[in-house]
Amino acid sequence: MFSTRTAMALPRQLSAGSRAAVLRSSKPSPARITSPLDRRRWIQTYGYTQAKALMYSKYGEPKDVLSLHTHSISAPHSTQVNLRLLAAPLNPADINQIQGVYPSKPPFTSILGTSTPSAVAGNEGAFEVLSAGSAVTSLQKGDWVIMKHTSMGTWRTHTQFDESQLLKINNADSSLTPLQVGTVSVNPVTAYRMIKDFCEWDWLRQGEEWLIQNGANSGVGRAAIQLAREWGIKTINVVRERDTEAETKALKDELHALGANVVLTETQLLDSRAFRDIVHDATRQGKEPIRLALNCVGGKSATALAKVLAHNSSLVTYGAMAKLPLTIPAGMLIFNNLAFRGFWVSRWSDKNPGLKLDTVQDVLRMTREGRFKDIPAHEVEWTWEKSGEALAEEVQGTLGGKRSGKGVFVYKGD
């Protein structure tokens, strides 16, 4: 085993990366305060710090394949930036990646020193800059950032990325919370781009055109309600019934408070006569067209949405919670000239990082102004002492039905 002194004396022809790898494997003794009351993350000699990452080396259920890996991070050089986690949500796409059923998959590598090639879970999150290399020009200690691309692995306490892989979030006035920044780049961006990019709205008719969506209680659905309200678009919103009538009413009231014009249940949607009457009354006997439908359910629910669209309108599918195919009657295509499109925010974000940042900044501007509200969140506190088993169980719990809100890891540590 190399000592730290021996590793530092390796021949100069070794690359910096090779010397760093030897340093990581040498595991130098940590300089640590011995007080039993001290629970701070400890720092190794020569600027190496300890980090933990929730990783998987094979596909499966989160509780079966996720484990917590401790590793070292070197001091940043050149354009490298060291980061500390603030908040990272537990999105359905993250779970699907772990299960191996999502179209995009992060590469399995041993770059963090795992015994078998592994990947860090998580795609979305907010981080704080701890330190930056000498060639970094756009970031400094204390700045907040999000990931420029997907599959970068956000479920970790600390990490190191190149400056070019990060997007800076303007939070100089400290008006934004880690939750707001950590959850902005998937659901709000999805809603924003679908409304903006898939319909040529007549902005001279603000308040006279409609959007209809299922899954209205989802993160995307709640964002769509608020963005449509800001842009003068009315919304018809479909939700699943809750266990009791009182709970269903409370949910409807909650969405109305966000700006929803009409909220109805799946049962009402699938009762063709009742649904037709609701739409007829809401749209002034059809004088106000429904121009766009947003579908995350599929099956009969999606078909019902399409039936009330005006000629030359679009239905955009971004999810398939019912796991049923979308059935399209030929008449919708032939006589109504409807367009059926799909939207995948991961691919869009990877292709449009600049536009992604513009979209994020616009949503956060509305957030600062009090015109865009947080999603309900179930915060999962991640401390340095928390076990990998406990974290994995929290991830698995997101599959267990209704919760108080979206699961979000919130790191409590240095």
Q: What is the pLDDT of residues 155-194, one digit of tens each?
A: 999 999 999 999 999 987 889 999 999 999 999 999 999 9
Dihedral (Cα; 54, 59, 64, 66), 10-degree rounding: 0
Residues catalogued as catalytic: 102
Paired sense of beta strands 339-342 and 234-239, if any: unpaired
Please report the pLDDT score of residue 291 as a whole number: 98
Please report the pLDDT score of residue 156 as a whole number: 98
The residues pairing with 169 across neighbouring beta strands, listed in sequence order, are: 144
Per-residue pLDDT of the chain (414 residues; tens, 9 = 90+): 444 444 444 444 444 444 444 344 444 444 444 334 344 454 544 678 899 999 999 999 999 999 999 999 999 999 999 999 999 999 999 999 999 999 999 999 999 999 999 999 999 999 999 999 999 999 999 999 999 999 999 999 999 999 999 999 998 788 999 999 999 999 999 999 999 999 999 988 889 999 999 999 999 999 999 999 999 999 999 999 999 999 999 999 999 999 999 999 999 999 999 999 999 999 999 999 999 999 999 999 999 999 999 999 999 999 999 989 999 999 999 999 999 999 999 999 999 999 999 999 999 999 999 999 999 999 999 999 999 999 999 999 988 766 678 999 999 998
Q: How far is CA 137 from the centre of its chain?
A: 27
Going by C-alpha positions, the residue among 349, 348, 303, 296 that lies closest to residue 326 is 303
Please report the pLDDT score of residue 146 as a whole number: 98
351 contacts 325 by C-beta, under 8 angstroms: no
Residue 38: CB partners within 8 Å, gap ≥ 6?
32
Q: What is the pLDDT of residues 86-103, one digit of tens each?
A: 999 999 999 999 999 999
Instruction: Report the sign of the C-alpha dihedral through residues 171, 172, 176, 182, in that order.
Output: positive
Please report the pLDDT score of residue 402 as a whole number: 62
Residue keyed to tokens 């986690």:
85
- Residue ranges of alpha helices (H) inside 56-102 are 62-65, 92-99
- Work out the angle at residue 152's Cα, subtended by the Cα atoms of residues 149 and 154, and round it to the nearest 5 degrees: 115
Q: What percent of the chain has pLDDT over 70?
A: 88
For the stretch 42-46, contacts whose Cβ atoms lie closer than 8 Å and that sit 24 or more positions apart, written own/partner, are 44/72, 45/4, 46/4, 46/8, 46/75
Please report the pLDDT score of residue 400 as a whole number: 74
Domains of the chain with CATH codes: 1-25 (no CATH), 31-183+374-412 (3.90.180.10), 187-345 (3.40.50.720)
Backbone angle region of 85, left / alpha / beta, with phi > 0 → left and psi within -120 to 50 → alpha: beta
Please report the pLDDT score of residue 318 as a whole number: 97
Going by C-alpha positions, the residue among 111, 100, 109 that lies closest to residue 74 is 111
Enclosing H/E stretch for 88 = strand 80-89
Task: Supply the pTM of this predicted model.
Answer: 0.87
